[in-house]
Structure 1
Amino acid sequence: MEPSMNNNTENLHQRKVKLQRDKGIQKANLIASGFQFIKTFYTLLRKVPQTDEEAKKIMRAYMEEVLHGIFFFGSIHAIPVKPEEFFPDGHHEDFKNIFPEPFEKYNTHLPVRTPYSVLLVLVVKIKSTGNMNEILQLLTETNTFLQKPSPTDNTVWNSNDYCFDSTVVSQSYFKDPQTDKGSEMFWGASLACKGKVEREILIYISCIKAWNKAVAYAVHYAQTGRAIKFPNYVYSEAFRSGRRNNSPYESIPPCLKCVSLFHNIRFIPQSEEEHHAAWPYGNCAEAESFSKLLNTLSNVLDDVKAVINGAEEPFTQEMIDFVANCQKSAAQKLKSRKFLLTEDWHFFGCCTG
Protein backbone atom coordinates (compact mmCIF):
# COMPACT_ATOMS: atom_id res chain seq x y z
CA MET A 1 0.00 0.00 0.00
CA GLU A 2 2.91 2.37 0.65
CA PRO A 3 3.85 2.98 -3.04
CA SER A 4 0.20 3.69 -3.81
CA MET A 5 -0.05 6.14 -0.91
CA ASN A 6 3.14 7.84 -2.03
CA ASN A 7 1.79 8.17 -5.56
CA ASN A 8 -1.45 9.64 -4.24
CA THR A 9 0.46 12.15 -2.13
CA GLU A 10 2.62 13.12 -5.11
CA ASN A 11 -0.43 13.52 -7.35
CA LEU A 12 -2.13 15.68 -4.74
CA HIS A 13 0.97 17.83 -4.44
CA GLN A 14 1.18 18.23 -8.21
CA ARG A 15 -2.48 19.26 -8.38
CA LYS A 16 -1.93 21.85 -5.66
CA VAL A 17 1.11 23.24 -7.46
CA LYS A 18 -0.82 23.43 -10.73
CA LEU A 19 -3.75 25.15 -9.01
CA GLN A 20 -1.47 27.77 -7.51
CA ARG A 21 0.27 28.27 -10.86
CA ASP A 22 -3.09 28.68 -12.63
CA LYS A 23 -4.24 31.20 -10.03
CA GLY A 24 -1.00 33.09 -10.48
CA ILE A 25 -1.56 33.21 -14.25
CA GLN A 26 -5.14 34.40 -13.71
CA LYS A 27 -3.91 37.16 -11.42
CA ALA A 28 -1.29 38.25 -13.95
CA ASN A 29 -3.93 38.35 -16.71
CA LEU A 30 -6.26 40.36 -14.46
CA ILE A 31 -3.52 42.92 -13.76
CA ALA A 32 -2.45 43.21 -17.38
CA SER A 33 -5.98 43.49 -18.77
CA GLY A 34 -6.98 45.92 -16.02
CA PHE A 35 -4.14 48.29 -16.85
CA GLN A 36 -4.84 47.96 -20.56
CA PHE A 37 -8.50 48.84 -19.99
CA ILE A 38 -7.60 51.88 -17.87
CA LYS A 39 -5.14 53.11 -20.48
CA THR A 40 -7.52 52.56 -23.40
CA PHE A 41 -10.49 54.16 -21.63
CA TYR A 42 -8.43 57.17 -20.53
CA THR A 43 -7.21 57.68 -24.10
CA LEU A 44 -10.77 57.44 -25.45
CA LEU A 45 -12.04 59.81 -22.78
CA ARG A 46 -9.55 62.51 -23.73
CA LYS A 47 -10.95 62.53 -27.27
CA VAL A 48 -14.35 63.68 -26.02
CA PRO A 49 -14.93 67.46 -26.28
CA GLN A 50 -15.45 68.76 -22.76
CA THR A 51 -17.00 72.12 -23.55
CA ASP A 52 -18.28 73.05 -20.10
CA GLU A 53 -17.92 72.17 -16.43
CA GLU A 54 -20.89 69.80 -16.50
CA ALA A 55 -19.35 67.79 -19.35
CA LYS A 56 -16.04 67.63 -17.49
CA LYS A 57 -17.83 66.43 -14.37
CA ILE A 58 -19.58 63.62 -16.26
CA MET A 59 -16.37 62.46 -17.98
CA ARG A 60 -14.55 62.47 -14.65
CA ALA A 61 -17.34 60.36 -13.13
CA TYR A 62 -16.93 57.79 -15.94
CA MET A 63 -13.18 57.50 -15.31
CA GLU A 64 -13.73 57.13 -11.58
CA GLU A 65 -16.34 54.44 -12.15
CA VAL A 66 -14.02 52.46 -14.42
CA LEU A 67 -11.16 52.65 -11.92
CA HIS A 68 -13.42 51.65 -9.04
CA GLY A 69 -14.86 48.69 -10.98
CA ILE A 70 -11.44 47.34 -11.88
CA PHE A 71 -10.13 47.80 -8.33
CA PHE A 72 -13.26 46.13 -6.92
CA PHE A 73 -12.90 43.04 -9.12
CA GLY A 74 -9.22 42.93 -8.24
CA SER A 75 -10.03 43.01 -4.53
CA ILE A 76 -12.49 40.08 -4.70
CA HIS A 77 -10.29 37.93 -6.95
CA ALA A 78 -9.27 34.51 -5.63
CA ILE A 79 -5.78 36.01 -5.23
CA PRO A 80 -6.59 39.66 -4.39
CA VAL A 81 -5.03 42.46 -6.41
CA LYS A 82 -4.36 45.85 -4.80
CA PRO A 83 -5.11 49.00 -6.83
CA GLU A 84 -1.45 49.95 -7.15
CA GLU A 85 -0.66 46.56 -8.71
CA PHE A 86 -2.62 47.54 -11.84
CA PHE A 87 -0.12 50.32 -12.62
CA PRO A 88 3.48 49.75 -13.73
CA ASP A 89 6.36 51.81 -12.34
CA GLY A 90 4.38 53.55 -9.63
CA HIS A 91 2.06 55.44 -12.00
CA HIS A 92 -0.81 54.75 -9.62
CA GLU A 93 0.19 57.85 -7.62
CA ASP A 94 -0.61 60.06 -10.63
CA PHE A 95 -4.08 58.56 -10.94
CA LYS A 96 -4.61 58.55 -7.18
CA ASN A 97 -3.88 62.27 -6.95
CA ILE A 98 -6.41 63.03 -9.71
CA PHE A 99 -9.02 60.37 -8.88
CA PRO A 100 -8.69 59.59 -5.16
CA GLU A 101 -12.20 58.18 -4.53
CA PRO A 102 -11.82 54.84 -6.39
CA PHE A 103 -8.66 54.13 -4.38
CA GLU A 104 -10.49 54.88 -1.13
CA LYS A 105 -13.80 53.11 -1.81
CA TYR A 106 -13.01 50.01 -3.89
CA ASN A 107 -13.39 47.70 -0.87
CA THR A 108 -16.31 49.47 0.83
CA HIS A 109 -18.55 50.47 -2.10
CA LEU A 110 -20.10 48.18 -4.70
CA PRO A 111 -20.08 48.85 -8.46
CA VAL A 112 -23.40 49.20 -10.27
CA ARG A 113 -22.08 48.01 -13.64
CA THR A 114 -18.92 46.67 -15.26
CA PRO A 115 -16.18 48.89 -16.68
CA TYR A 116 -17.18 47.78 -20.19
CA SER A 117 -20.73 49.01 -19.66
CA VAL A 118 -19.27 52.43 -18.84
CA LEU A 119 -17.14 52.25 -21.98
CA LEU A 120 -20.22 51.41 -24.03
CA VAL A 121 -22.00 54.50 -22.67
CA LEU A 122 -19.00 56.62 -23.63
CA VAL A 123 -18.86 55.21 -27.16
CA VAL A 124 -22.58 55.90 -27.66
CA LYS A 125 -22.03 59.49 -26.45
CA ILE A 126 -19.12 59.96 -28.84
CA LYS A 127 -21.27 58.72 -31.73
CA SER A 128 -24.03 61.09 -30.71
CA THR A 129 -26.02 60.68 -33.94
CA GLY A 130 -26.97 57.20 -32.70
CA ASN A 131 -25.87 55.54 -35.93
CA MET A 132 -25.68 51.83 -35.13
CA ASN A 133 -22.91 51.01 -37.61
CA GLU A 134 -20.73 53.87 -36.38
CA ILE A 135 -21.15 52.73 -32.77
CA LEU A 136 -20.21 49.14 -33.64
CA GLN A 137 -17.22 50.33 -35.67
CA LEU A 138 -15.84 52.41 -32.80
CA LEU A 139 -16.40 49.48 -30.43
CA THR A 140 -14.49 47.22 -32.82
CA GLU A 141 -11.58 49.66 -32.95
CA THR A 142 -11.59 50.06 -29.16
CA ASN A 143 -11.67 46.30 -28.61
CA THR A 144 -8.54 46.01 -30.75
CA PHE A 145 -6.67 48.30 -28.35
CA LEU A 146 -8.02 46.37 -25.36
CA GLN A 147 -6.65 43.15 -26.81
CA LYS A 148 -3.09 44.39 -27.39
CA PRO A 149 -0.99 44.78 -24.23
CA SER A 150 1.26 47.40 -25.89
CA PRO A 151 2.15 48.77 -29.36
CA THR A 152 5.38 46.76 -29.32
CA ASP A 153 3.84 43.49 -28.14
CA ASN A 154 2.24 41.33 -30.82
CA THR A 155 0.59 39.04 -28.29
CA VAL A 156 -3.20 39.24 -28.32
CA TRP A 157 -5.19 37.80 -25.45
CA ASN A 158 -7.81 35.25 -26.29
CA SER A 159 -11.28 35.37 -24.80
CA ASN A 160 -10.24 33.27 -21.80
CA ASP A 161 -7.34 35.54 -20.89
CA TYR A 162 -8.86 39.00 -21.11
CA CYS A 163 -10.99 39.96 -18.13
CA PHE A 164 -12.88 43.17 -18.85
CA ASP A 165 -14.49 43.22 -22.30
CA SER A 166 -17.98 42.05 -23.25
CA THR A 167 -18.46 39.39 -25.90
CA VAL A 168 -21.91 40.68 -26.86
CA VAL A 169 -23.62 44.08 -27.02
CA SER A 170 -27.31 44.62 -27.66
CA GLN A 171 -29.57 47.50 -28.66
CA SER A 172 -33.32 47.83 -28.24
CA TYR A 173 -35.92 50.41 -29.16
CA PHE A 174 -39.68 51.01 -29.24
CA LYS A 175 -41.51 51.89 -32.45
CA ASP A 176 -44.63 53.98 -31.93
CA PRO A 177 -47.45 52.28 -33.88
CA GLN A 178 -49.23 55.63 -34.35
CA THR A 179 -46.33 57.55 -35.88
CA ASP A 180 -44.16 54.60 -37.01
CA LYS A 181 -41.18 56.43 -35.48
CA GLY A 182 -38.60 54.55 -33.46
CA SER A 183 -37.29 55.73 -30.10
CA GLU A 184 -33.61 56.17 -29.44
CA MET A 185 -31.58 52.99 -29.23
CA PHE A 186 -30.78 51.68 -25.77
CA TRP A 187 -27.48 49.81 -25.57
CA GLY A 188 -26.36 47.14 -23.14
CA ALA A 189 -23.39 44.82 -22.73
CA SER A 190 -23.04 41.26 -21.50
CA LEU A 191 -21.44 40.95 -18.08
CA ALA A 192 -17.72 41.55 -18.46
CA CYS A 193 -16.03 40.01 -15.44
CA LYS A 194 -14.08 36.82 -15.00
CA GLY A 195 -14.99 34.16 -12.49
CA LYS A 196 -18.16 32.35 -11.46
CA VAL A 197 -18.37 34.04 -8.05
CA GLU A 198 -17.70 37.48 -9.53
CA ARG A 199 -20.44 36.99 -12.12
CA GLU A 200 -22.94 35.82 -9.49
CA ILE A 201 -22.15 38.83 -7.30
CA LEU A 202 -22.70 41.24 -10.17
CA ILE A 203 -26.04 39.68 -11.13
CA TYR A 204 -27.22 40.04 -7.53
CA ILE A 205 -26.03 43.66 -7.42
CA SER A 206 -27.76 44.37 -10.74
CA CYS A 207 -31.04 43.00 -9.38
CA ILE A 208 -30.66 45.13 -6.25
CA LYS A 209 -29.52 48.41 -7.79
CA ALA A 210 -28.76 48.64 -11.50
CA TRP A 211 -31.54 47.01 -13.50
CA ASN A 212 -35.11 48.13 -13.90
CA LYS A 213 -37.08 46.14 -11.35
CA ALA A 214 -39.22 44.42 -13.99
CA VAL A 215 -36.06 43.05 -15.62
CA ALA A 216 -34.63 42.14 -12.21
CA TYR A 217 -37.88 40.33 -11.39
CA ALA A 218 -37.63 38.19 -14.53
CA VAL A 219 -33.97 37.34 -13.91
CA HIS A 220 -34.40 36.55 -10.21
CA TYR A 221 -37.41 34.29 -10.71
CA ALA A 222 -36.24 32.72 -13.98
CA GLN A 223 -35.70 29.32 -12.40
CA THR A 224 -39.36 29.24 -11.34
CA GLY A 225 -40.57 29.87 -14.88
CA ARG A 226 -41.64 33.46 -14.33
CA ALA A 227 -41.07 36.12 -16.98
CA ILE A 228 -42.19 39.55 -18.13
CA LYS A 229 -44.14 40.42 -21.26
CA PHE A 230 -43.42 43.62 -23.15
CA PRO A 231 -46.05 45.56 -25.09
CA ASN A 232 -46.00 45.31 -28.88
CA TYR A 233 -43.37 46.98 -31.03
CA VAL A 234 -40.26 46.57 -28.87
CA TYR A 235 -37.33 45.49 -31.04
CA SER A 236 -33.98 44.05 -30.06
CA GLU A 237 -30.80 43.07 -31.88
CA ALA A 238 -27.62 41.62 -30.39
CA PHE A 239 -24.11 41.65 -31.85
CA ARG A 240 -21.19 39.36 -31.08
CA SER A 241 -17.67 40.75 -31.12
CA GLY A 242 -15.35 39.45 -33.82
CA ARG A 243 -12.31 40.01 -31.62
CA ARG A 244 -10.98 36.46 -32.03
CA ASN A 245 -10.23 37.01 -35.72
CA ASN A 246 -10.24 40.82 -35.73
CA SER A 247 -13.51 40.96 -37.68
CA PRO A 248 -16.55 43.25 -37.26
CA TYR A 249 -19.48 42.56 -34.95
CA GLU A 250 -22.04 40.10 -36.28
CA SER A 251 -25.77 40.10 -35.63
CA ILE A 252 -26.84 37.04 -33.63
CA PRO A 253 -30.19 35.60 -32.49
CA PRO A 254 -31.11 35.75 -28.80
CA CYS A 255 -30.33 32.78 -26.62
CA LEU A 256 -33.23 30.69 -25.37
CA LYS A 257 -32.84 32.12 -21.87
CA CYS A 258 -33.55 35.65 -23.13
CA VAL A 259 -36.53 34.39 -25.12
CA SER A 260 -37.92 32.69 -22.01
CA LEU A 261 -37.40 35.78 -19.83
CA PHE A 262 -38.56 38.57 -22.14
CA HIS A 263 -41.80 37.78 -23.97
CA ASN A 264 -43.19 39.53 -27.04
CA ILE A 265 -39.88 41.11 -28.05
CA ARG A 266 -39.32 41.35 -31.80
CA PHE A 267 -35.82 39.90 -31.86
CA ILE A 268 -33.67 40.47 -34.95
CA PRO A 269 -32.88 37.85 -36.11
CA GLN A 270 -35.44 35.57 -34.53
CA SER A 271 -34.35 32.96 -32.01
CA GLU A 272 -32.98 29.60 -33.05
CA GLU A 273 -33.91 26.46 -31.15
CA GLU A 274 -30.33 25.28 -30.99
CA HIS A 275 -29.01 28.56 -29.56
CA HIS A 276 -28.71 27.31 -25.98
CA ALA A 277 -26.89 29.24 -23.27
CA ALA A 278 -24.37 27.87 -20.81
CA TRP A 279 -24.24 31.18 -18.93
CA PRO A 280 -26.54 32.19 -16.04
CA TYR A 281 -29.78 34.14 -16.39
CA GLY A 282 -28.96 37.86 -16.44
CA ASN A 283 -25.57 37.47 -18.07
CA CYS A 284 -26.78 38.65 -21.48
CA ALA A 285 -26.56 42.18 -22.88
CA GLU A 286 -30.34 42.30 -23.30
CA ALA A 287 -30.87 42.70 -19.54
CA GLU A 288 -29.01 46.01 -19.45
CA SER A 289 -30.48 47.18 -22.76
CA PHE A 290 -34.10 46.49 -21.76
CA SER A 291 -33.51 48.08 -18.34
CA LYS A 292 -32.42 51.33 -19.94
CA LEU A 293 -35.43 51.24 -22.28
CA LEU A 294 -37.91 50.70 -19.44
CA ASN A 295 -36.25 53.31 -17.22
CA THR A 296 -36.60 55.89 -19.98
CA LEU A 297 -39.91 55.04 -21.68
CA SER A 298 -42.58 55.09 -18.98
CA ASN A 299 -45.31 54.38 -21.54
CA VAL A 300 -43.65 51.03 -22.31
CA LEU A 301 -43.02 50.22 -18.64
CA ASP A 302 -46.66 50.90 -17.79
CA ASP A 303 -47.73 48.12 -20.17
CA VAL A 304 -45.26 45.47 -18.97
CA LYS A 305 -46.93 42.34 -17.60
CA ALA A 306 -45.64 39.70 -15.22
CA VAL A 307 -46.00 36.14 -16.48
CA ILE A 308 -46.65 33.62 -13.69
CA ASN A 309 -47.43 30.00 -14.53
CA GLY A 310 -48.36 31.11 -18.03
CA ALA A 311 -50.86 33.71 -16.82
CA GLU A 312 -50.36 37.45 -17.33
CA GLU A 313 -50.98 40.11 -14.71
CA PRO A 314 -49.88 43.75 -14.29
CA PHE A 315 -46.38 44.20 -12.94
CA THR A 316 -46.71 45.97 -9.58
CA GLN A 317 -44.46 47.29 -6.83
CA GLU A 318 -45.63 44.43 -4.60
CA MET A 319 -43.76 42.04 -6.91
CA ILE A 320 -40.45 43.63 -5.96
CA ASP A 321 -40.07 41.25 -3.03
CA PHE A 322 -36.79 39.73 -4.07
CA VAL A 323 -34.31 42.45 -3.08
CA ALA A 324 -33.76 41.11 0.43
CA ASN A 325 -32.99 37.63 -0.92
CA CYS A 326 -30.54 39.12 -3.43
CA GLN A 327 -28.84 41.08 -0.67
CA LYS A 328 -28.51 37.97 1.48
CA SER A 329 -27.01 35.93 -1.37
CA ALA A 330 -24.69 38.75 -2.44
CA ALA A 331 -23.54 39.27 1.14
CA GLN A 332 -22.55 35.62 1.48
CA LYS A 333 -20.57 35.73 -1.76
CA LEU A 334 -18.89 39.04 -0.89
CA LYS A 335 -17.91 37.94 2.60
CA SER A 336 -16.37 34.78 1.13
CA ARG A 337 -14.05 37.15 -0.76
CA LYS A 338 -13.41 39.31 2.34
CA PHE A 339 -15.23 42.38 1.03
CA LEU A 340 -15.95 44.96 3.76
CA LEU A 341 -19.73 44.96 3.42
CA THR A 342 -21.71 47.27 5.70
CA GLU A 343 -25.40 47.25 6.58
CA ASP A 344 -25.90 50.43 4.55
CA TRP A 345 -24.93 48.85 1.21
CA HIS A 346 -22.86 51.67 -0.29
CA PHE A 347 -22.68 51.87 -4.10
CA PHE A 348 -20.19 53.65 -6.31
CA GLY A 349 -21.54 55.40 -9.40
CA CYS A 350 -25.09 56.23 -10.36
CA CYS A 351 -25.66 54.45 -13.70
CA THR A 352 -25.44 57.73 -15.62
CA GLY A 353 -26.10 57.12 -19.30
Structure 2
Amino acid sequence: MVNNRRGEQEDFLKSQEPFRHNAFKIITKMLDWCNMTEGSKKFVDEILHSIFFLGKINKPQFLPEMIFADDKQILENLKERYPKPFELYSTQLPRRSPFSCVLDMIVLQKGQKNENQILQSLRDLLNELKSRFLVSSTICVSQKSNIPNSDRYLHVHFWTESRTDEKAEWAYGNCAEAESVSNLLKNEKDVKENAQPTCTDENRQKAKERVDICINLRSH
Protein backbone atom coordinates (compact mmCIF):
# COMPACT_ATOMS: atom_id res chain seq x y z
CA MET A 1 0.00 0.00 0.00
CA VAL A 2 2.81 2.43 0.91
CA ASN A 3 4.63 1.63 -2.33
CA ASN A 4 1.45 2.19 -4.32
CA ARG A 5 0.94 5.61 -2.74
CA ARG A 6 4.55 6.53 -3.34
CA GLY A 7 4.23 5.50 -6.97
CA GLU A 8 1.05 7.56 -7.38
CA GLN A 9 2.77 10.58 -5.85
CA GLU A 10 5.76 10.21 -8.19
CA ASP A 11 3.45 9.92 -11.20
CA PHE A 12 1.58 13.04 -10.09
CA LEU A 13 4.80 15.02 -9.72
CA LYS A 14 5.86 13.95 -13.21
CA SER A 15 2.50 15.05 -14.59
CA GLN A 16 3.08 18.55 -13.16
CA GLU A 17 6.59 18.96 -14.59
CA PRO A 18 5.29 20.56 -17.84
CA PHE A 19 4.41 23.62 -15.74
CA ARG A 20 8.09 24.23 -15.03
CA HIS A 21 9.06 23.44 -18.63
CA ASN A 22 6.49 25.85 -20.09
CA ALA A 23 7.21 28.57 -17.55
CA PHE A 24 10.92 28.52 -18.35
CA LYS A 25 10.34 28.47 -22.12
CA ILE A 26 7.78 31.28 -22.10
CA ILE A 27 9.84 33.55 -19.84
CA THR A 28 13.08 33.11 -21.80
CA LYS A 29 11.24 33.71 -25.08
CA MET A 30 9.68 36.90 -23.69
CA LEU A 31 13.12 38.08 -22.57
CA ASP A 32 14.47 37.51 -26.08
CA TRP A 33 11.55 39.41 -27.62
CA CYS A 34 11.93 42.22 -25.10
CA ASN A 35 15.51 42.77 -26.22
CA MET A 36 14.25 43.27 -29.78
CA THR A 37 11.04 45.21 -29.06
CA GLU A 38 11.06 48.75 -27.74
CA GLY A 39 8.52 49.52 -25.04
CA SER A 40 7.87 45.88 -24.14
CA LYS A 41 9.45 45.65 -20.67
CA LYS A 42 6.02 46.04 -19.05
CA PHE A 43 4.89 42.76 -20.61
CA VAL A 44 7.82 40.90 -19.05
CA ASP A 45 6.98 42.41 -15.65
CA GLU A 46 3.38 41.31 -16.04
CA ILE A 47 4.07 37.79 -17.27
CA LEU A 48 6.57 37.12 -14.49
CA HIS A 49 3.97 38.17 -11.91
CA SER A 50 1.33 35.96 -13.53
CA ILE A 51 3.51 32.86 -13.86
CA PHE A 52 5.04 33.19 -10.38
CA PHE A 53 1.56 33.52 -8.86
CA LEU A 54 0.32 30.42 -10.67
CA GLY A 55 3.44 28.54 -9.64
CA LYS A 56 2.80 29.39 -6.01
CA ILE A 57 -0.82 28.16 -6.01
CA ASN A 58 -0.05 25.07 -8.05
CA LYS A 59 0.21 21.70 -6.32
CA PRO A 60 3.05 21.00 -6.12
CA GLN A 61 4.33 24.56 -5.93
CA PHE A 62 6.77 25.87 -8.51
CA LEU A 63 8.46 28.85 -6.91
CA PRO A 64 10.76 31.06 -9.05
CA GLU A 65 13.80 29.29 -7.65
CA MET A 66 12.39 25.97 -8.89
CA ILE A 67 11.46 27.28 -12.34
CA PHE A 68 15.07 28.42 -12.85
CA ALA A 69 16.72 25.54 -11.02
CA ASP A 70 18.80 24.77 -14.14
CA ASP A 71 19.94 28.34 -14.69
CA LYS A 72 20.47 30.36 -11.51
CA GLN A 73 22.06 33.22 -13.44
CA ILE A 74 18.80 34.01 -15.26
CA LEU A 75 17.04 34.07 -11.89
CA GLU A 76 19.53 36.55 -10.44
CA ASN A 77 19.30 38.75 -13.54
CA LEU A 78 15.51 38.75 -13.33
CA LYS A 79 15.54 39.73 -9.66
CA GLU A 80 17.79 42.66 -10.48
CA ARG A 81 15.94 43.92 -13.57
CA TYR A 82 12.35 42.96 -12.67
CA PRO A 83 12.09 43.17 -8.86
CA LYS A 84 8.34 43.89 -8.62
CA PRO A 85 7.03 40.46 -9.68
CA PHE A 86 9.17 38.85 -6.99
CA GLU A 87 7.76 41.26 -4.40
CA LEU A 88 4.11 41.00 -5.43
CA TYR A 89 3.35 37.47 -6.61
CA SER A 90 2.69 36.14 -3.09
CA THR A 91 0.28 38.92 -2.11
CA GLN A 92 -1.30 40.39 -5.24
CA LEU A 93 -3.44 38.72 -7.90
CA PRO A 94 -2.24 39.00 -11.49
CA ARG A 95 -4.49 40.96 -13.82
CA ARG A 96 -4.58 38.39 -16.64
CA SER A 97 -3.15 35.19 -18.06
CA PRO A 98 0.46 34.69 -19.15
CA PHE A 99 -0.54 34.04 -22.75
CA SER A 100 -2.36 37.38 -22.94
CA CYS A 101 0.99 39.03 -22.19
CA VAL A 102 2.63 36.90 -24.87
CA LEU A 103 0.01 38.05 -27.38
CA ASP A 104 0.52 41.73 -26.55
CA MET A 105 4.27 41.33 -26.95
CA ILE A 106 3.88 39.74 -30.38
CA VAL A 107 1.32 42.32 -31.54
CA LEU A 108 3.68 45.13 -30.51
CA GLN A 109 6.53 43.40 -32.33
CA LYS A 110 4.71 42.46 -35.55
CA GLY A 111 2.22 45.32 -35.83
CA GLN A 112 -1.54 45.41 -35.30
CA LYS A 113 -2.41 44.71 -38.95
CA ASN A 114 -0.09 41.72 -39.50
CA GLU A 115 -2.48 38.99 -38.40
CA ASN A 116 -0.72 36.12 -40.20
CA GLN A 117 2.66 36.97 -38.70
CA ILE A 118 1.12 37.22 -35.23
CA LEU A 119 -0.59 33.84 -35.56
CA GLN A 120 2.57 32.20 -36.88
CA SER A 121 4.65 33.50 -33.96
CA LEU A 122 2.06 32.13 -31.52
CA ARG A 123 2.04 28.74 -33.26
CA ASP A 124 5.86 28.62 -33.29
CA LEU A 125 5.88 29.19 -29.54
CA LEU A 126 3.16 26.61 -28.92
CA ASN A 127 5.23 24.03 -30.79
CA GLU A 128 7.90 24.44 -28.10
CA LEU A 129 5.45 24.03 -25.21
CA LYS A 130 3.71 21.11 -23.61
CA SER A 131 -0.07 21.02 -23.29
CA ARG A 132 -2.27 21.99 -20.32
CA PHE A 133 -0.10 24.48 -18.45
CA LEU A 134 0.07 28.25 -19.00
CA VAL A 135 -1.07 28.08 -22.63
CA SER A 136 -4.11 29.14 -24.63
CA SER A 137 -5.21 27.25 -27.72
CA THR A 138 -7.74 29.65 -29.27
CA ILE A 139 -7.49 33.28 -30.34
CA CYS A 140 -10.27 35.64 -31.41
CA VAL A 141 -9.67 38.38 -33.99
CA SER A 142 -11.97 41.41 -34.37
CA GLN A 143 -11.77 44.25 -36.86
CA LYS A 144 -13.94 46.87 -38.55
CA SER A 145 -15.92 44.86 -41.08
CA ASN A 146 -16.12 47.64 -43.68
CA ILE A 147 -12.36 48.22 -43.90
CA PRO A 148 -10.38 45.09 -44.99
CA ASN A 149 -6.97 46.45 -43.98
CA SER A 150 -8.02 47.91 -40.61
CA ASP A 151 -6.26 47.07 -37.36
CA ARG A 152 -6.93 43.68 -35.81
CA TYR A 153 -7.83 43.37 -32.13
CA LEU A 154 -6.87 40.00 -30.75
CA HIS A 155 -7.36 38.14 -27.52
CA VAL A 156 -6.59 34.59 -26.47
CA HIS A 157 -9.20 32.23 -25.05
CA PHE A 158 -9.57 31.43 -21.38
CA TRP A 159 -6.73 29.72 -19.58
CA THR A 160 -6.85 26.88 -17.12
CA GLU A 161 -4.67 25.77 -14.29
CA SER A 162 -4.91 22.27 -12.70
CA ARG A 163 -4.09 20.71 -9.20
CA THR A 164 -5.93 17.67 -10.75
CA ASP A 165 -7.28 16.96 -14.29
CA GLU A 166 -10.26 19.26 -13.66
CA LYS A 167 -10.33 22.56 -15.54
CA ALA A 168 -10.87 25.76 -13.56
CA GLU A 169 -11.76 28.99 -15.31
CA TRP A 170 -10.12 32.20 -14.11
CA ALA A 171 -12.57 34.67 -12.63
CA TYR A 172 -10.82 37.76 -13.97
CA GLY A 173 -12.05 37.17 -17.54
CA ASN A 174 -12.08 34.12 -19.73
CA CYS A 175 -13.78 35.06 -22.97
CA ALA A 176 -11.57 35.78 -25.96
CA GLU A 177 -14.49 37.02 -28.01
CA ALA A 178 -15.62 39.56 -25.39
CA GLU A 179 -12.10 40.86 -24.78
CA SER A 180 -11.37 41.09 -28.50
CA VAL A 181 -14.53 43.10 -29.17
CA SER A 182 -13.81 45.22 -26.08
CA ASN A 183 -10.41 46.13 -27.51
CA LEU A 184 -12.08 47.02 -30.81
CA LEU A 185 -14.54 49.35 -29.08
CA LYS A 186 -11.85 50.99 -26.97
CA ASN A 187 -9.66 51.78 -29.96
CA GLU A 188 -12.15 52.51 -32.75
CA LYS A 189 -14.22 55.58 -31.84
CA ASP A 190 -16.68 55.31 -34.73
CA VAL A 191 -17.47 51.68 -33.95
CA LYS A 192 -18.14 52.57 -30.32
CA GLU A 193 -20.38 55.49 -31.29
CA ASN A 194 -22.40 53.30 -33.65
CA ALA A 195 -22.81 50.49 -31.14
CA GLN A 196 -26.44 50.26 -30.04
CA PRO A 197 -27.48 49.04 -26.58
CA THR A 198 -30.79 47.71 -27.87
CA CYS A 199 -30.81 43.96 -28.45
CA THR A 200 -32.39 43.50 -31.88
CA ASP A 201 -31.79 40.99 -34.68
CA GLU A 202 -30.10 43.72 -36.70
CA ASN A 203 -27.78 44.70 -33.88
CA ARG A 204 -26.93 41.09 -33.11
CA GLN A 205 -25.95 40.60 -36.74
CA LYS A 206 -23.78 43.73 -36.64
CA ALA A 207 -22.04 42.40 -33.54
CA LYS A 208 -21.36 39.08 -35.25
CA GLU A 209 -19.82 40.88 -38.21
CA ARG A 210 -17.43 42.72 -35.89
CA VAL A 211 -15.96 39.44 -34.67
CA ASP A 212 -13.88 38.25 -37.56
CA ILE A 213 -12.93 34.72 -36.52
CA CYS A 214 -11.90 32.48 -33.64
CA ILE A 215 -8.80 30.51 -34.56
CA ASN A 216 -7.48 27.29 -33.03
CA LEU A 217 -3.75 27.90 -32.72
CA ARG A 218 -2.94 24.19 -32.56
CA SER A 219 -4.81 23.29 -35.75
CA HIS A 220 -1.90 23.98 -38.10
TM-score for the superposition, normalised by structure 1: 0.49
Contact 1:27/1:81 (<8 A) preserved: no
> Which residue of structure 2 aligns with residue 6 of structure 1?
none
Taking structure 1 as reference, are residues 197 and 61 closer, same or farther at Cα in structure 2, changes over 3 Å only? farther
Query: 2:156 is matched with which residue?
Result: 189
Which of 29, 42, 51 is the equivalent residue of 1:61? 42
Per the alignment, in what secondary structure is the counterpart of residue 140 of structure 2? strand
Q: Distance in 2 between matches of 1:181 and 1:134?
A: 17
The 8 Å contact of residues 117 and 188 in structure 1, kept in 2 or not, is answered as: yes
Q: Distance in 1 between matches of 2:123 and 2:148?
A: 28
User: Is the CA contact 2:49–2:89 (under 8 Å) kept in the aligned structure 1?
Assistant: yes
Deviation of 1:128 after TM superposition, in Å, equals 1.6
- Report Cα offsets for 1:197-216 as digits up to 9, x if no partner: 8843x2x223xxxxxxxxxx
More strand by share: 1
TM-score normalized with structure 2 length: 0.76
Out of 11, 19, 23, the position equivalent to 1:30 is 19
Letter in 2 for 1:305: P
The CA distance in 1 between the partners of 2:149 and 2:168, in whole Å, is 33
Distance in 1, Cα, partners of 2:112 & 2:55: 35
- By percentage of residues, which structure has more helix? 2
Unaligned runs of 5+ in 1: 1-9, 148-156, 207-281, 313-353
Structure-2 change in CA distance of 1:46 and 1:286 (3 Å) = same
What's the CA shift string for 1:31-79, capped at 9, x where partnerless? 121111111111122222x3xxxx3xxx221111111111010011122
How many Å separate the matches in 2 of 1:73 and 1:25?
Answer: 18
Deviations 1:293-351 (A, max 9, x none): 233335544535376xx9x9xxxxxxxxxxxxxxxxxxxxxxxxxxxxxxxxxxxxxxx
Letter in 2 for 1:78: K
In structure 2, relative to structure 1, the CA distance for the partners of 1:129 and 1:183 (3 Å cut) is closer
2:43 and 2:104 in contact (8 A); partners too: no
* Number of positions where the alignment pairs a residue of Structure 1 with one of Structure 2: 197
Q: Tell me the C-alpha RMSD between the 2 structures.
A: 2.9
Residue 143 of structure 2: SS of its match in structure 1? Answer: strand
Q: Check the 8 A contact 1:191/1:199 in 2, yes or no.
A: no
1:74 aligns with: 55
Aligned 8 A contact 1:68 1:105 in 2: yes
Name the SS of the counterpart of 1:101 in structure 2. Answer: helix
Q: Output the CA distance in 1 between the equivalents of 2:52 and 2:166.
A: 16
**Within-5 A mapping of 1:269-308:** 282=174, 284-301=175-192, 303-305=195-197
Give the counterpart letter for 1:287 in structure 2.
Answer: A
Q: In 2, Cα distance between the equivalents of 1:101 and 1:304?
A: 41
